[in-house]
Amino acid sequence: MRKSGLWLLSFLFCVACSEQHDHKEKAPLVEVDGNFLYREDLKNAFPTDLSPEDSSLFAERYMRNWVEDVLLYEKAQSNIPDNEKIEKLVENYRRTLIMHTYQQALIHQKLSEQIAETELTNFYNQNKELFKLEHPLIRGLFIKVPLKASGVGNVRRWYKTSTQDAVDHLEKYSLQNAVKYEYFYDKWVLVSEILDMIPLKTAQIEDYLKTKRHLELKDTAFYYFLNISDYRSAGEIEPYEFARSKVKEMLMNMKEVNFMKEVKSDLYERAVKRNQIKYN
């Protein structure tokens, strides 16, 4: 019933569409007072992987919402007295949108996103106060092993050192025995990500991790081994490796602002030379 109703509704609306209206080769689906919803618009709005029944329901709701929006707009338009003010707001928004679109296209065309590593590190070193940690970071190694796993004694010995030999042993061991193995000696991760993996319950978690470098815990099913090679508290300066993406984003923003200042200044100077600017 739903599908046949939708088909009939679509058919009746299509028949009612004005033949004089230029639809630009689009297929009209619904008309309200000269406003048209096209099949192409509905098709583009469809979510993927909908069942036939859900597709029919979505189409009906979409058309109903579209009709209601058109009717509400027309009602509002006839009841808003200060249309001149709205037109001014629309024009200002249009100007802003056009300028923004042009600026982004110009920046993409003229300004390279490549920044030399030395420029990044120099900016970081000269502005370290801008890069304060909001949350503590950690580097190290983590391994989670079932209580019944063999060779746990070796794991106790290997996880406490970051030598390549010990890491190689742990990686081979983890392939057959570990439930979880995380190597992060070479990158900073949020402490919260590690805490989500271990059953550590303590009120002063930061103070605890600052003083501990080798952590062994267990519950009813697993051993948890954590070697902390480095630790940074909240409020400290972010390590460069962790801050690098933020450094690059800040530098790019600065370059874009300076670039657009130069573009505007150049346009102004040209306008002055051409006598385009008239002050009354």
**Sequence-ordered list of residues with C-beta below 8 angstroms from that of 214, at least 6 positions apart, any chain:** 159, 160, 226, 227, 228
The tens digit of pLDDT for each residue in 68-85 reads 999 999 898 888 877 788
Three-class DSSP category at 236: coil
pLDDT exceeds 60 at position 5? no
- Tell me the CB-side half-sphere exposure of residue 155, using CA atoms within 13 A: 26
pLDDT exceeds 70 at position 179? yes
Query: What residues does 30 pair with on adjacent strands?
Result: 37
34-66 as b/e: b if 16+ CB within 10 A: eebbbeeebeeeeeeeeeeeeebeebeebbeeb
In this predicted structure, what is the pLDDT of residue 257?
A: 95
How many residues belong to the chain?
280
CA distances from 65 to 59, 71, 72, 117 (A): 10, 10, 10, 52
Q: Which of 201, 224, 205, 216 is nearest to 138 (CA)?
A: 205
In this predicted structure, what is the pLDDT of residue 212?
A: 86
In this predicted structure, what is the pLDDT of residue 95?
A: 96
- Tell me the CB-side half-sphere exposure of residue 214, using CA atoms within 13 A: 8
pLDDT exceeds 50 at position 256? yes
Expressed in angstroms, the distance from the first to the final Cα of the chain is 70
In this predicted structure, what is the pLDDT of residue 4?
A: 47
In this predicted structure, what is the pLDDT of residue 240?
A: 97
The tens digit of pLDDT for each residue in 16-52 reads 544 566 777 788 888 888 889 998 988 888 888 888 8
Three-class DSSP category at 140: strand
Read off the pLDDT of each residue in 205-226 and give the average, rounded to a whole number.
89
CA distances from 263 to 111, 218, 260, 267 (A): 12, 63, 5, 6
